[in-house]
A = this chain, B = another copy of it.
Amino acid sequence: MSTNGHLTAKDYRTDQEVRWCPGCGDYAILAAMQSFMPELGIARENTVFVSGIGCAARFPYYMNTYGMHSIHGRAPAIATGLATTRPDLSVWVATGDGDALSIGGNHLIHALRRNVNFKILLFNNRIYGLTKGQYSPTSELGKVTKSTPMGSLDWPFNPLSLAIGAEATFVARAIDTDKAGMTAVLRAAAEHRGSAFVEIFQNCPIFNDDAFAFVRDDKEGVNRVPLRDGEPITWGAGAEKALRQRSDGSIEICRADDEGVLVHDAHHEGAALAFALSRVTQESHGGTPVGVFRDVERPVYDDLMAGQLAAATEKFGEGDLGALLHSGETWKIG
């Protein structure tokens, strides 16, 4: 009675009323995910969503798969245990910028370096939504929020730079309302064996409205820099702008017909280019790359673990409990 077969987005809806605020970007992400899931061809019962706490973290309740709404920041740790013991499952983590980067930062970076086989969707709204509007680790410096009436003092993380610095094998960015772009990224993430890290720009109309208006509403592509593997990185209304690397390692804007325009190579083994691209931001360059920054192969933690179990069994035979208890120096009495 597998649920595999001809599923549609509807099959992924649960009977729970969706309780995000009207206009929340989370709706669009949910819709995109529910539409994308059938394409994956994985049975519903073999799919698991794990989350921490936050608005974003309500996600599992709305996906008609297995799911766990756990505790704040710990979803990557829980998913690690699940994915490592159940390689047959498709495991997804839904998390927010506070959940993933504040309290859960350590689990995130360790999951990424281990390359455990699950996909992390970070709903970045640059604010703590659920606790009603304190600044988050991605909030811009000087942000005035409930907890920072005179402006925040902390320099924000760039989630992609952090992930790349943490040895991530797959790093991408999408926008809540860009269904096509997000679906492409989700597809690539699902295809990637190992940890995949996807930052999704998500609007929180209640506490941080229009934080990403510059790309979200950018229908003409004036600000969106699409990354397409193997293609030159160009953008603008007429694709007239482009990126190229300076000799000092940083990236500058040039014209599309200039020499040395960067050709995107998501599969490049070295992380330096992906890192440099992650530093291209609206503030610094007037453009925001979206798409897959990095997608490289590296041994996957769960596979390696399974491999060691197989190798040990090959070498010592399937464990025999009686023999194990009797191992070491024994002696008989009576």
Q: Which residue numbers of A lie inside 8 Å of B, CB to CB? A: 102-106, 109-110, 113-115, 137, 141, 150-151, 153-158, 161-167, 245, 247-251, 260, 262, 265, 268, 270-273, 275-276, 279, 298-299, 301, 304-305, 308, 311-312
Contacts and interface: CB of A to CB of B under 8 A. Distances in A.
B245 A247 contact: yes
Contact of A113 (B155, B167, B305): B155
Most chain B Cβ neighbours within 10 Å, of A103, A109, A115, A301: A109
A137 B166 CA distance: 11
A103 B166 CA distance: 15
A269 to B, nearest CB: 8
A304 B142 CA distance: 10
A115 B154 CA distance: 8
Given A109-B105, A155-B115, A247 B272 contact: no
24 contacts: A102-B110, A103-B106, A104-B106, A113-B155, A113-B157, A114-B153, A114-B154, A115-B155, A153-B299, A153-B305, A162-B166, A165-B165, A165-B166, A245-B247, A248-B268, A248-B272, A248-B273, A249-B276, A250-B270, A251-B272, A270-B279, A271-B275, A272-B275, A272-B276
Contact of A157 (B151, B157, B167): B167
Contacts of A113: 137, 154-157
A167 B101 CA distance: 13
Copies in the complex: 2
B275 A250 contact: no
Given A153-B308, A165-B163, A272 B279 contact: yes
Contact of A275 (B165, B166, B247, B298): B165
A109 B275 contact: no
Nearest to A151: B308
A155 to B, nearest CB: 5
Nearest to A155: B113
Given A114-B154, A165-B163, A247-B245, A279 B273 contact: no
A175 to B, nearest CB: 22
Query: Which 5 pairs between the two chains have the least Cβ-Cβ distance?
Result: A165-B165, A249-B273, A250-B270, A106-B106, A272-B276
A165 B251 CA distance: 16
A301 B167 CA distance: 27
